């Protein structure tokens, strides 16, 4: 099953805490994890967070400013965000393809502007800040259940099938055959539901599987794998493993 590794926390900065909590069982086809990223006091210098491409949609809550919240996605290559010297975020990481609301404003990358959409995210952000991360799963679960009722998120049968058969997928043609779609149908479906073309979606899946330890099975040779990994992350696998904790 697909297990996205979204964090690239620098190993040399132990004062940055990264916590993941699983959602309740009835939401595990929708939500991958609830997340907290927090500093233990003020850091001596700006912190750069390495965000890995994962095809997921996030709802981000900036706990230091209730106005800064919203829906965010990453692109097909990794990005480094300067989070400053003190920060505190709580996020929902949705599985790829489940976000349905095309009218909701989407940010690609780091959120730094007040929320302008219609969801009650600012009120929820204030509630999270008042109650702390221990109560966050309950608050976030209530939000996701509301989004399900409103049809803003929904299970994606195409991506679910892909995740269940990752070991059998080596090419985009394999995906099309698995989900019983023509290449053109697959292109439209994945682009609409994940924001990724099939080739980029497969590239992200391969990178994620590499970070889970299956590093070369889907590549022609070791040099091809190293080249692909460096193109997606900016690092060779060895240098990435030394610098970041995933």
What is d(CA 39, CA 86) in angstroms, rounded to the nearest whole number?
A: 6
* CA pair distance 205, 76, nearest whole angstrom: 10
Distant-in-sequence, close-in-space partners of 106: CB < 8 Å, separation ≥ 6: 57, 71, 72, 73
pLDDT for 222 equals 62
CA–CA gap between residue 184 and residue 98 (Å, rounded): 20
Read off the pLDDT of residues 158-209 as tens digits, 9 standing for 90 and up: 999 998 888 788 889 999 999 999 999 999 999 888 888 898 888 888 777 7
Q: What predicted TM-score, i.e. pTM, was given to this entire model?
A: 0.85
**pLDDT given for residue 246 in this prediction:** 57
């Amino acid at each position: 099953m697909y297990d996205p590794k979204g964090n690239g926390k620098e190993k040399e900065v132990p004062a940055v805490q990264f916590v993941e909590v699983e959602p309740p069982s009835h939401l595990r086809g929708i939500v991958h994890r609830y997340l907290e990223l927090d500093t233990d006091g003020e850091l001596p210098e700006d912190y750069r967070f390495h965000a890995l491409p994962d095809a997921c949609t996030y709802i981000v809550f900036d706990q230091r400013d209730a106005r800064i919240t919203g829906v965010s996605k990453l692109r097909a290559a990794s990005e480094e965000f300067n989070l400053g010297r003190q920060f505190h975020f709580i996020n929902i990481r949705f599985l790829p393809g489940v976000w349905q609301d095309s009218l909701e404003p989407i940010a690609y990358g780091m959120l730094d502007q007040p929320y302008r959409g219609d969801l009650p995210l600012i009120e929820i952000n204030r509630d999270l800040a008042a109650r702390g991360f221990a109560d966050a799963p309950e608050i976030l679960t209530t939000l996701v259940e509301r989004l399900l009722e409103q049809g803003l998120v929904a299970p994606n049968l195409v991506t679910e099938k892909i995740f269940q058969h990752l070991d059998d997928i080596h090419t985009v043609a394999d995906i099309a055959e698995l989900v019983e779609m023509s290449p053109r149908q697959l292109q439209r479906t994945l682009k609409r539901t994940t924001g990724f073309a099939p080739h980029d979606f497969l590239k992200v899946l391969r990178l994620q599987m590499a970070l889970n330890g299956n590093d070369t099975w889907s590549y022609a040779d070791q040099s091809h794998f190293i080249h692909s990994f460096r193109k997606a992350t900016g690092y060779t696998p060895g240098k990435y493993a030394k610098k970041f904790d995933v």
